Structure 1
Amino acid sequence: MKFHWTTAAWSIVYFLLLLSLVTPLTVVTVLFLLVPGVILYTTLSRTSFILHVVPVLLLLLFLLGPYYILVPLYFLIPSIIMGHMYKTRAPAARTLLVGAATILVEFILLLLVSTVFFDFNLAQTIEDVINTTSMPLRDMTGSNLVSGLDWTEKKTELLSDLVRTIPFTMTVTSLAIAAVTHAIARPTLSSLGQITPKMKPFRELRLPRSLVWYYCIGLIIQLFAGTAAREGFLGTVLVNLMPLLQFGFIIQAAGLFFYLAYVKKWNLVIPILLTIAMIFIRPLWIIGLFDIAFPLRDMITRSRR
């Protein structure tokens, strides 16, 4: 696609998203940062892509300074990779997973480089955030009450838990960014005439049955390994693996709800509400585990005959 007002508009959107990084909106807009880059790379030649992106980066450099150039460069890599896969019409699921994996690898490399070369201390950074957040509490309750509640010990425990769950957080964040990007980019590219493969309907989602075995093994270790399951390397693995598996079961349960809605001809509002309910009623994730372990959908289909 040659220069077109559509691509110019996406360049403007890209610039506005980058500007939002200096505002509190960055918590939300970071989920959409890959979208303009993916669309521009997929619909343009490499030369045209550079001609669209470089002016945006130069303008950002002029307005915000060199520090903020690093962020768009960071997100351009997965944008280009996902855009290339859309161009080559790779399967949608592979595109999403490769995009998420790229973001995750970048997270890990960024953390590694920051720690090794710049003496970045993530634990200290999190502690500073906790201290800043708890300052109003200290002011309102008074130092005597705070010390009486043994705040330091609780703060240390919270800090340790936050640091240990970083792999889980990075994984879920990577998947979320890639999923949001695909959800917006694929239909947009189709509307622009770019043929891109669709993912299977969400109701047909079936995660590997091996996940159930992983969860059972993790549960057994937690029950019988004692303190070893809460400390050290094993504890760190479990504290990330178990929530990640539960997150997968939640997704599987949501797929089952949409499958039920499709089979039973329910209104789509019902599976959406059931999915939202899982966020507040956490034990409902076990429905996803049962859906993977047992042929629930086959039983539902047979019951209609």
Structure 2
Amino acid sequence: MNLRWTSIAWSVVYLLLLLSFATPFSFITIFVMLLPGVILYTTLSLRAFLIHTAVVWAAASLLLSNPMIILVAVFFMIPVVVMGHLYKKKASALKVVAMGTGTLLAEFLLAFLAITVIFDFNLASSIEDTLNMMTAFMQNMADSELVATELVWSPEVAQQLSSLAARMTPFTMIVCSLLLAAVTHMIARPTLNSLGHAVPSFPPLRDWRLPRSLIWYYLATVLLMLFGSAALMEGFIGTILLNLSPMLNFLFMIQAASFFFFLAYHKKWNPAIPILLIIAMLFIPPLKIAGILDIAAPLREMITRSRR
């Protein structure tokens, strides 16, 4: 009986999240859009899950009178099934998040390709128009040429920024996919555990070790960006490097955070110290070198060996 009422409650949450796409709050609720479906798929039989989903979709269509909401629901249903199936199989947390991220990324790419081909959509031009419109609005609000002077804004600047944003689309899609999958797992795991469904967790952050091959990717990226020709950087290779560089930096920052917690654990430091170091790293990016060294050199072995 408790499971029945819990399922109904999560179905109501699922409906509210779908309805939120008709409001400005969708930019927030999208990050937990997978959660109700994952909970329902993991805790219910396939037949019960389909019934709950059909009722929620029908209610959302009637309340919004917009068939597009079903397309949104179908889009998010695929990673829901993937992650929920893995939870039922007791898969590792890394596999669940990785598969959820990969599924979302594939969907984002296919959706972007379909919009570009079917509607002849140009992302760079759309971003440029948006930037110009925002600038014009700011100038009208200020009613002064001072705004334009201080921003040093021009059509050329807008074009450069829009082109850069368009080329960074793959990185943006990867980050969004990872965030959606990670946030879903962070909330779903304790929720499912409380409902009697044991879900594996990630190992402690201090034990995370990223593959050493990342160092070679990083070196190749740095060398190509330093010595590559202008024509190379403007082409396909340049776009790859433009997206690969921030992704590698992000991974090195994660490794640095892991090393800070490892160091604090073995040195018996105050638990607040690694947190402060991570916050400092957000404002002082060169601190990520700790993550690079942690991958490239046996720093942890040296620390643990010195304690013996």
Q: Do they fold alike, i.e. is TM over 0.5?
A: yes
Structure 2 residue ranges without an equivalent (≥5): none
Report what 1:13 is aligned to.
13
In structure 2, the partner of 1:299 is: 302
Partner of 1:111: 112
Distance 1:182 1:108 in 2: 22
Deviation at 1:3, TM superposition (A): 5.3
SS at match of 1:230: helix
1:25-64 correspondence runs (5 A)? 25-64=25-64
Partners of 1:35 and 1:119 lie apart in 2 by 33
The equivalences for 1:264-303 within 5 A come to: 264-303=267-306
Structure-2 residue corresponding to 1:71 = 72
Structure 1 unmatched ranges of 5 or more? none
Residue 82 of structure 1 is matched in structure 2 by: 83
Alpha-carbon displacement from aligned partner over 1:233-261 (angstroms, at most 9, x marks no partner): 11101100111100111111111122123
CA RMSD between the two structures: 2.1
Indicate conservation of the 8 Å contact 2:42/2:85, yes or no.
yes
Amino acid paired to 1:253: A
CA shift at 1:212, angstroms? Answer: 0.7
**Residue 241, structure 1, aligned to residue 244, structure 2:** yes
Which range moved further: 27-36 or 93-102? 27-36
Counterparts in 2 of 1:23 and 1:260: CA distance versus 1, 3 Å? farther
More deviation, 55-64/237-246 = 55-64
Partner AA of 2:102 in structure 1: A
Aligned partners of 2:168 and 2:77: how far apart in 1? 26
Partner of 2:103 in structure 1?
102
Segment drifting more, 181-190 vs 134-143: 134-143
- Deviation, 1:82, is 0.4
In 2 relative to 1, CA 287–230 (structure 1 residues): closer, same or farther, beyond 3 Å? same
Q: Distance in 1 between matches of 2:195 and 2:214?
A: 38
Deviation digits for residues 9-39 of structure 1 (CA, Å, limit 9, x no counterpart)? 1112212222222333322221111111111
The question of whether the paired residues in 1 share the 8 Å contact of 2:138 and 2:147 is answered with: no
SS in structure 2 at match of 1:4: helix
CA contact (8 A) 1:290 1:296 kept: yes
Contact 2:214 2:248 in 1 (8 A): yes
* Worse-superposed segment, 30-39 or 221-230: 221-230
Partner of 1:125: 126
Counterpart of 2:77 in structure 1: which amino acid?
Answer: L
Instruction: Name the TM-score, length of structure 2 as normaliser.
Output: 0.92
TM-score by length of 1: 0.93
The C-alpha deviation readout for 1:177-236, integer Å capped at 9, x for no partner, is 111111111121111111222222221111110001100011111111131353111110
Q: 1:259 to 1:25 in 2, by over 3 A?
A: farther
Deviations 1:97-126 (A, max 9, x none): 011000000000000111112222222322
The Cα offsets for residues 247-287 of structure 1, whole Å up to 9 and x where unpaired, read as: 11111111112212322333433322322322222222222
Matches within 5 A, 1:122-201: 122-139=123-140, 140=142, 142=144, 146=148, 149=152, 151-201=154-204
**Matched residues in 1 for 2:29 and 2:269: separation?**
33
Q: Alpha carbons of 1:98 and 1:223: their partners in 2 closer, same or farther (altered >3 Å)? A: same
Deviates more, 1:237-246 or 1:5-14: 5-14
Quote how far apart the aligned CAs of 1:303 are: 2.8
Task: Using the TM superposition, give the Cα deviation of residue 57 of structure 1 relative to its aligned residue in structure 2, in angstroms.
Answer: 1.3
Q: Which residue of 1 aligns with 2:235?
A: 232
Kept in 2, the 8 Å contact 1:35–1:185? The answer is yes
Q: How far apart are residue 172 of structure 1 and its match?
A: 1.1
The residue type equivalent to 2:278 in the other structure is T
3-state DSSP class of the match of 2:201? coil
